[in-house]
Amino acid sequence: MTWKESLGQQIKEARLKAGLTQVDLAKAIGRCRKMIPRYEDGSDAFSPDLLAKIAITLGMTEVNVNGYRFSIELRTEPEKMETTEQLTLDFDKEHVFSGGVLKITATKTTITITATAPTTPLRPAA
């Protein structure tokens, strides 16, 4: 039995124990009804986030995968996420920043990144 099949079997057993149909579970986790049998028979894998959502919906506190036991619990405090900024750079174009110049060139087999730093210090010496 593969890890996906084992996990799917645990989910199916918990769903039946909870008295839910596949349709009920699909609605509760915001997924298409057709996905639940695929999860349960191990033909489809899912993200850790979705596994947690399924487990919490079914009252599962742990799952066993390949001899490892994973505990599942709902966090009462949301994890603080740092705000990050996505930098988008076009290929074959120089991108000038205060710290230098960056150019990305792509071919079918390679990506080349060329960076040029300024020759003078960015900050005056103290």
Please, are residues 121 and 100 in contact by the beta-carbon 8 Å criterion? Answer: no
**CA atoms in the 13 A half-sphere facing the CB of 20:** 21
User: Per the domain annotation, does 81 fall within a domain?
Assistant: no
- Residue 54's CB is within 10 A of a number of other CB atoms, namely 24
Containing structural domain, residue 97: 87-118
Same domain for 10 and 51, yes or no, is: yes
Task: Tell me the pTM.
Answer: 0.58
58 and 104, same domain (yes or no) = no
Query: How many domains are contained in the chain?
Result: 2
- Whether 89 and 102 have beta carbons less than 8 Å apart is answered as yes
pLDDT of residue 83: 66
**In terms of Cα–Cα distance, which of 49, 47, 69, 52 is closest to 11?**
52
Distances (CA, A) of 59 to 45, 54, 69, 71: 20, 9, 16, 12
Same domain, 51 and 110: no
In a domain, 124, yes or no: no
Asked whether residue 63 falls in the same domain as residue 93, the answer is no
**Contacts of 38 by beta carbon, 8 Å cutoff, 6+ apart:** 44
Which stretches in the chain have pLDDT values below 70?
Answer: 77-87, 118-126
pLDDT digits (tens, 9 = 90+) for 58-78: 999 888 888 888 888 877 766
**7 and 67 housed in the same domain:** yes
Q: Give the pLDDT of residue 105.
A: 80
